[in-house]
């Protein structure tokens, strides 16, 4: 199998929490928001978390994933749970949280740049990641990784149909195509169900809880690696 994989392949990469840190920024923003709400007299963290998730999922259904939808959810939670007398104060604090979240640089994970540089000399690399297109492209440009990818796709959702469409548009042979990412729900399972040759799962400690799902490896087509640079031992 290793010899087969060392032939020229199409390697599709996720971005957030595969190439660079992302969800930790949301977790820290949520921590700041919980503190803000506590100062406004709302101390039930479970209620705050549940309300954030409820509003976030409904906004995502309309706008897709990203940092702006998350900030909109925080504003709605504040209006819903905070006493009216604190609305103005909390709104200011949410805008402060928003400014930091929207402008925060995403740090590359260890070994990503040299690994991609070497892989790009062996295989065709593509990027396929969810989020707001302008935000994701800005993160990609800041990362310095753009030149490694022959194609960038930013779908609303990463489902089997999304992968099939990408393969059709980019004229990829499924038998020579591998997906690489940190999310079982968006990167690994739908890629396998779409008929890709294989998927490589690289767990991240801060993967978003809604991306957690049992890896479906009934056919033995999923490889789990502990760190990104180990890709060079496979491809």
Class of domain 2-20+106-233: alpha beta
Per-residue pLDDT of 10-38, as tens digits, reads 999 999 999 999 999 999 999 999 999 99
pLDDT confidence tier of residue 132, bands split at 50, 70 and 90: confident
Query: Domain spanning 23-103 has what CATH number?
Result: 1.10.150
- Helix residue ranges per DSSP H, 82-130: 87-103, 112-120
Is the Cβ–Cβ distance between 156 and 61 less than 8 Å? no
- Helix residue ranges per DSSP H, 6-44: 23-39
**CB within 8 Å of 221: residues ≥ 6 apart:** 192, 197, 198, 199
Pinpoint the residues of the chain covered by CATH 3.40.50.1000: 2-20+106-233
**Interatomic CA distance for residues 56 and 72, integer angstroms:** 8
pLDDT higher than 60, residue 8 = yes
Pinpoint the residues of the chain covered by CATH 1.10.150: 23-103
Q: What is the pTM of this model?
A: 0.89
């Amino acid at each position: 199998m290793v010899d087969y994989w060392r032939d020229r392949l199409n390697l599709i990469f996720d971005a957030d929490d595969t190439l660079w840190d992302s969800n930790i920024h949301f977790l820290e923003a949520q921590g700041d928001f919980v503190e803000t709400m506590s100062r406004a007299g709302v101390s039930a963290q479970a209620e705050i978390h549940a309300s954030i998730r409820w509003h976030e999922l409904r906004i995502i259904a309309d706008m897709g994933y990203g940092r702006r939808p998350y900030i909109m959810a925080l504003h709605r939670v504040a209006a819903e749970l905070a006493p009216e007398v604190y609305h103005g104060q909390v709104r200011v604090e949410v805008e402060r949280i928003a400014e930091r979240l929207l402008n925060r640089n995403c740090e590359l994970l260890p070994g990503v740049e040299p690994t991609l540089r070497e892989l790009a000399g062996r295989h065709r690399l593509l990027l396929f990641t969810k989020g707001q297109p302008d935000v994701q492209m800005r993160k990609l440009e800041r990362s310095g990784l753009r030149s490694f990818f022959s194609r960038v796709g930013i779908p609303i959702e990463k489902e089997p149909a999304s992968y099939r469409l990408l393969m059709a548009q980019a004229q990829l042979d499924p038998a020579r195509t591998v997906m690489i990412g940190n999310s079982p729900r968006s990167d690994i399972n739908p890629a396998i169900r779409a008929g890709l040759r294989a998927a490589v799962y690289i767990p991240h400690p801060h993967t978003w809880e809604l991306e957690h799902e049992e890896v479906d490896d009934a056919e033995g087509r999923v490889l789990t690696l502990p760190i990104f640079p180990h890709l060079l031992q496979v491809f």
